[in-house]
Structures are given as C-alpha cells and as structure tokens.
Amino acid sequence: MSRRFVARSATVAGALALALTGVAAASASGAASPADPLATSGGGEVEQHVPPRVPTSIGYGGAVSSLDPVVSEIGLKVLRQGGNATDAAVAMAAAIGVTDPYSAGIGGGGFFVHYDASTGEVETIDGRETAPAAVGPDAFLDPATGEPYPFYPDLVTGGVSVGVPGTPATWDRALERWGTTTLGQALRPATAVAEKGFVVDQLFHDQTVANQARFEAITSTTDLFLPDGEAPAVGSVFRNPDLAATYRALAAGGVEAFYEGELAQEIAGAVQAPPVAPGTTLPVPAGSMTPEDLAAYEVVDRDPTVFSYRGYDVYGMAPPASGGTAVGETLNIMEQFDLAPLDDVAVRHHFFEASALAFADRAAYLGDGDFVDVPVDALLDDTFAKERACLLDPQAAAPKPVAAGDARSYDGVCDGTAAPGTVPEDTESTSTTNLTAVDRWGNVVEYTLTIEQIGGSGIVVPGRGFLLNNELTDFSIVYDADDPNRIEAGKRPRSSMAPTIVLQDGSPVLALGSPGGSNIISTVTQMLLNRIDLGMTIQETIAAPRAAPQNGTRTPAERAYVDAYGTGLAAYGHTLVPTANAIGAATAIEIGPDGLLTAVAEPVRLGGGSARVVRPAGR
C-alpha cells in the first residue's frame, strides 16, 4: 500500500547512508568531495566533470543503464557503496529530474517493475498520474467555441492537461518495499547535481529551443529555462537551485511534503492559475486540480502481466499501461508461427501484421482497470492469440486498419479474414525516459517515467524548479462513453509504457524498456524479437534500426530500417515512411551465466546513453 499504506521501514544501509551524506555535505558547502558525482577538476565551469557515454559495459557486481551519463554514474556509485537496485533506481530517477527535466521529474508519473531475488517474485508499482476530482467529459473543450482545443501547442500547454503527479509517491513506495535507504538519502546525489549544475549538451539545448514558444508563455518557465531570453548554450553549466531546495524539502518532510501543505497548495495554484506571461498568444487553459486531489493520491501495487514466449516468462505492466498486454499479444500471435525458416523480411511482415491485430485490441479494450473492465487474461491467452493469428496471411498484408477481436468470447477457431476497423487518434507523446538496474544480490528494476510531452505542460511550479506533466492528454480527446480510455475523475490515462523483465526457469535473464509514446510497444517488442527469435546479441538488439507498426496504412520507420527492409516489405503490401526522429531510446541489462552482466544503452539515438557495471570483466 504506497505512501499512505504503511510506515516506512527503518532499515538503512550504513555504507550507502554515509556515502550519500558526503554528497549532500559537498553540495551544501560548495566544495567537491570524493563522493560528489560532479566533482570539478579545477573549479571552472568548463572543466566540470562530464561522465563518459558508455553504450556497453560487461562485468559483475551490479549494473545500471540510462539515457544520461550523469544519471548512470550516480546509479553506479550507489551500487558500489552498498545500495541495492531500488536504491540506485530512485537515486537515478531523481537525477533524471535534474538533467533531463523535459522528459521526467517529480511533476510526472511512471511504472516501476521489480524482481526480488529473495522471493523470486516480480512485483510492480503503478505511479501513473490521475485526473482531478472536478474533471468532466468536456475538460478538453474550449468554452469559447465548444470545440476541442487544438492539441499542439494549445491543449498540451497549460493546467487543463496536468494530472496529479505520482512520481514522488512511487519513489517512496519503492524504497519502503525493497530499498535499504530513505527517500532523503536517495535524493542527495540529485540535489548535489541540481545545486552544482550539469554541462548542457546539444539535446538539452535543442529541446529548449523547440519549446521556446511554449516556455515563453509561462513566466516561471521562462525564468528557469530561458535565462536572458535564450536557451542555455551547449557547454554551459545549468543550475537549478530551486529544485535542489525542493528535494531538500522532501528529504526533510518526506513525501507528505509534496502531497500536503505549502507545496501542494503551490502545485494546485499553478494548475488553476498558470503564471501566464503578459502578451502571450497561447490560451494556456487552466485546470481544476486542488490540494485535496494531491492529498488523496495513492500509488497502486499491481500484479504484473505475464506471458510465456518460446520458453521465456515475460513480465510487464498491467493497465492502465497497455504495454504489457500489447507486447504480449503481439508476441503470442507470432508464436503461432515457426519463424526459424523465414528470412528477415518475412519475419518482419509477421511482426507488422501481429502488431496491427494487437493495436486494434488495445484501442478496443485498454484503459484504467479500476474504472473499466479490461480483459487482461484474455488478451494474453494463447487461445485468443491463435484465433487472432488465423487472420495473419503469411504472404500479404491485410488492408488496414483491422478490427478488434472478441476478447469476451473466443475459441481459437479461424473465422475468416481480418475485418476493417478504425484507428483512434494517437496523442501520446514520444518523450519519457527509462532506466534499468541490477544489483550484486540479483534484484532487478525496470522503471519507465515521464511528464508526457517534451517539456510537459510547460508549467514550472514557481520557485520550485520542476515542470508539471501534461499526462491527461493521454486520455481520448473527444469524450465517448463507450471508450475505455474516456476521461473521468480520479482515473489514470492509458499508457504505452512497457518496462519488462524476462525470466527463464524462474531466474531473470533480461530487463529492458524504452520511452517513445505508443512506439514504446513497437520498440520493446522488436527488441525481444531481435534477441529471442533473430539471435542478435543484446548490443546488436538495441542498436538495430526500428519501425513502429501499429494499425495504419503507413508505418513510420527509421531511415536505416527503410533502406534495409522497405523494398522487401513493399512486396507484401506494406508502406514504410521514413521518420527523422529516432524510434524509442532503450536501456537494457542482460544477466548471463555466473552473474555476468551485459549492460547496454543506445549508442546513437538521442545522443547515446550510458551503461555501467560495478566490476568490469577482466579487472
């Protein structure tokens, strides 16, 4: 039961507590210490330590992977100084809120998946944002016109799109269940980074520039991210003392300092009356969140989804996440076919067709299971997969979109060809971030977290240093009483996040996840397909080009994917459309014989990530 369920455990790892205390002391005094993750080499900003981007590390004793080298270095130090995978994951997530504030932070939410080596159990925490109590079916309608707000930049910028954040409660609950340290201690490395600053890279600069018009509409956001009216320059040092102070407030007062009291009042105030800049042309619609909404928020301990695929047990996130069921259904459909004799193009044709069937069912059935009846067991049933696989023609693509199957009544018998369907509007952002951690004891964490849009709602809580999410835009924009993802008070919007842990014979062998909106499902599925069916190494798996098949007539794909498979897939009837943007940005750790860990991060996408091991092989 999350932060309002039970009292916090008093267990603390002494070595870790001392190490993190050293980081905090360095931050407070301004002096560098050996434990400081951003110790400078000579005091000048340009000489500030920048950890390396390491796409692959192999070794023992624990490992971490994230999309940011500062974040991974913090996770690595936590593991080296006695912390476990949960301690490392929370410390890393807090650091992401500093160095990648446009993707995640305490103003958002996410899904935390954990393998417990002592019990052999996979368990999850649902820290998804919730709709405020006063939300109604007309929440996304412009009162002046009665029509939905234009999605970008109108609807995504402002208070109306902000859900009640779940990230701080997720960290608190994860540490309570599996950690060996306190929330305050886990926040200390990130607090040091926020105070001392980090070196701005090209991605941070470019994302600031891309959001400049939105950020200029909010005074508090302009003050933080557009000093002197411009995006921070590449190579400069970006500091966020307001966020450091907010982290210290959480360290001192616990998670209640976020959900109750002064900060809760300020969050609700920023949602109800965004600090709009004079003269802005954006509408910046206000929301209805109250301090009572924040006080009532709870994370949920959910049973994971699980399915078997070619001898592996694959665990994921249950609704309101659609990743666990959609990845599972896609692979269950593919398992009905012997892919071994097929060439690469034929395998990918099967993947495209299975994805279309799974996405049709996702649209028909997936929503918050606390509000709508989601047939999770049916969607992951091999008999249902067999019935859906009957509609997959190995020689030709079915006309798109295809219709959903009947997950309420099925028998595995073929019932003709795929019927035509419809494709709902996809408003899920391609932002978000992901991290992976494994410790020396064999515990595993896969954690996907987000504030939705790159830059979230665009609203920085004044004086607090963090952006609020725009997660409510993951609900269907136009209200339909029959839509499982319709907006309702207290409900959690459907998500595509798919943090995944794979077991074989009861032991973990792989953990992986990715950001990317609805493309997360495609990314995670392709990685499992590449590793299990196509025999790629985990390094090759993460670097391989990707497509994002769903249930449309055209499939976005990275240029390298189009070059490799476009002509062959066209012969099956598929139309690939090159996309300038990367599809997904994954992290993964593979657990091999004798505890050998292969940690991998993106070598190129989003500038590349960083994967680190505690004790590199050969040393």
Coil, strand or helix at 315: strand
Concerning whether 181 is annotated as a catalytic residue, the answer is: no
Q: Note the pTM of the prediction, 2 decimals.
A: 0.92
Residue 48 has pLDDT above 50, yes or no: yes
Of 43-47, 412-416, 483-487, which gets the smallest average pLDDT?
Answer: 43-47
Structural domain of residue 501, as residue ranges? 304-428+496-605
pLDDT at position 6 is: 28
Contact (CB, 8 A) for 349 and 574:
yes
Residues 330-358, mean pLDDT to the nearest whole number: 98
341 found inside a domain: yes
In a domain, 315, yes or no: yes
* Residue 171: per-residue pLDDT: 98
Mean pLDDT of 352-361: 98
Q: Average pLDDT, stretch 199-226? A: 97
198 & 100 share domain = yes
Is the separation of the CB atoms in 323 and 515 below 8 Å? no
Same-domain pairing of 273 and 210: yes
Average pLDDT on 84-113 reads 98
Listed residues 408, 441, 474: the one ending a domain: 474
Domain assignment of residue 272, yes or no = yes
254 plus 346 within the same structural domain: no
Report whether pLDDT(28) > 70.
no
Percent of the chain with pLDDT over 70: 90
- Span 242-261, average pLDDT: 97
pLDDT at 362: 98
pLDDT of amino acid 430? 61
Would you state the pLDDT for residue 619? Answer: 72
pLDDT tens-digit readout, 311-329: 999 999 999 999 999 999 9
- What's the pLDDT tens digit per position in 362-395? 999 999 999 999 999 999 999 999 999 999 999 9
Instruction: Say whether both 163 and 80 belong to one domain.
Output: yes
User: What are 488-537's pLDDT values in tens digits?
Assistant: 999 999 999 999 999 999 999 999 999 999 999 999 999 999 999 999 99
Q: Residues 385, 390, 395, CA angle at the centre, nearest 5°?
A: 120
- Mean pLDDT for 472-481 is 95
CA gap 20, 478 in Å, rounded:
47
> Does residue 42 fall inside a structural domain?
no
Which of 414, 440, 474 terminates a domain? The answer is 474
pLDDT at 43: 27
Q: Kindly state whether residue 520 falls inside one of the protein's structural domains.
A: yes
Residues 289 and 357 in one domain: no
Domain co-membership, 352 together with 250: no
The verdict on 230 and 308 lying in the same domain is no
Cα(373)–Cα(129) distance, integer angstroms: 19
- The answer, yes or no, to whether residue 24 has pLDDT greater than 60, is no
Asked, for residue 422, whether it belongs to a domain, the answer is: yes
Catalytic residue among 432, 448, 523, 587: 432
Whether pLDDT at 227 is above 70: yes
* Whether residue 413 is found in the same domain as residue 438: no
The verdict on 73 and 173 lying in the same domain is yes
Q: Does residue 44 sit within a domain?
A: no
Kindly report the CATH number assigned to the domain that includes residue 376: 1.10.246.130
Residue 521, CA distances (Å) to 308, 526, 605 in order: 17, 8, 17
Distance CA 165, CA 468 (A): 8
Q: To the nearest 10°, the Cα dihedral for 355, 603, 42, 613?
A: 80
Q: Is residue 558 included in any domain, yes or no?
A: yes
Residues 147, 226 within the same domain: yes
pLDDT at 47 over 60: no
pLDDT in tens, 427-447: 565 679 999 999 999 999 999
Cα dihedral across residues 174, 180, 185, 189: positive or negative: negative
* Predicted pLDDT at 426: 60
Number of domains in the chain: 2
Contact 593, 617 (CB under 8 A): no
> 509: part of which helix (H) or strand (E)?
strand 507-513
pLDDT beyond 70 at 32: no
Tokens at 57, concatenated: 């590390």
Angstrom distance (rounded) from CA 38 to CA 198: 8
246 and 172 in one domain? yes
Does the pLDDT value for residue 612 go beyond 50?
yes
Eight-class DSSP state of 607? G
pLDDT category at 415 given cuts 50, 70, 90 is confident
Looking at the fold, whether 120 and 236 belong to one and the same domain comes out as yes
Confidence of residue 50 (pLDDT cuts 50, 70, 90): confident
Instruction: Name the residue with higher pLDDT: 32 or 156.
Output: 156
Q: How far apart are CA 517 and CA 557, in angstroms?
A: 15
8 pLDDT above the threshold of 70: no
Lowest mean pLDDT among 5-14, 62-71, 508-517, 589-598: 5-14
Which two three-digit tokens encode residue 428?
A: 């899920």
Alpha-carbon Rg for the chain in angstroms: 23
- pLDDT digits over 562-598, tens only? 999 999 999 999 999 999 999 999 999 999 999 999 9
Question: Would you say how long the chain is, in residues?
Answer: 619
Torsional sign, CA 402, 406, 412, 414: negative
| Average model confidence (pLDDT) across the chain | 91
Provide φ and ψ at 118, rounded to 5°. -75, -25
User: For residue range 262-275, what is the model confidence (pLDDT) as tens digits?
Assistant: 999 999 999 999 99
